[in-house]
Chain A
């Protein structure tokens, strides 16, 4: 079975540019999570969805960040405009609370570098 799929795996962009990260959760999972990981701050939850509806976006650092989940198999995290301090690894994770409790499964991540 395919796991969580993320694209691109690496993104290098210049300050001020728009960045869009993509995620396909595991089929049948009803929760989707976006995390950011840095050496300084560790793994931070940015936003999560349940059945495509945003539940908690309190971790989104500022209005430059936005996330959507138009259907059960696709989500995007957008940063506009990007800044060097946004450089991090961004992970998407999904879970199926009906079958496996609260276990979350992570995608391979997108390493973002903003110059």
Chain B
């Protein structure tokens, strides 16, 4: 079973702080990695994709990938209450033509 693991949380951070969300995966050959944000009662929304080792920045979001350690993370700078949501990590496994495996998600709470 090719797995994606996340801490379910909740991860609580004060407004303005950096939120760090982590994800590990078991398929060493995985090449594509995604972060989705899901508000309560809503559908998952793609916020970041990353394909190469290193950092990828988009506004307040930075995705970090370390294939050797099989680890992908999402940093949210200057966290806002509107960032409070569940963040899902997704990985495309080798040989599965566009099929993604999702983690169970980390619930983030940004407090005032």
Contact = CB atoms under 8 A, between A and B. Distances in A.
Interface of A: 31, 33, 42-43, 45, 48, 50, 55-56, 91, 95, 97, 101-109
A22 to B, nearest CB: 15
Interface of B: 32, 34, 36, 42-46, 49, 51, 88, 90, 92, 96-105
B34 A103 contact: yes
Contacts of B44: 43, 91, 106
Given A56-B99, A91-B43, 9 more contacts: A31-B98, A42-B102, A43-B104, A48-B99, A55-B97, A101-B32, A102-B98, A102-B100, A103-B34
A107 B43 contact: yes
A31 B92 CA distance: 14
Q: Which 6 A-B pairs have the closest CB atoms?
A: A106-B43, A42-B104, A43-B102, A102-B92, A102-B32, A31-B98
A48 B98 contact: yes
A33 B44 CA distance: 13
B98 A50 contact: yes
A106 B99 CA distance: 14
B108 to A, nearest CB: 16
A80 to B, nearest CB: 25
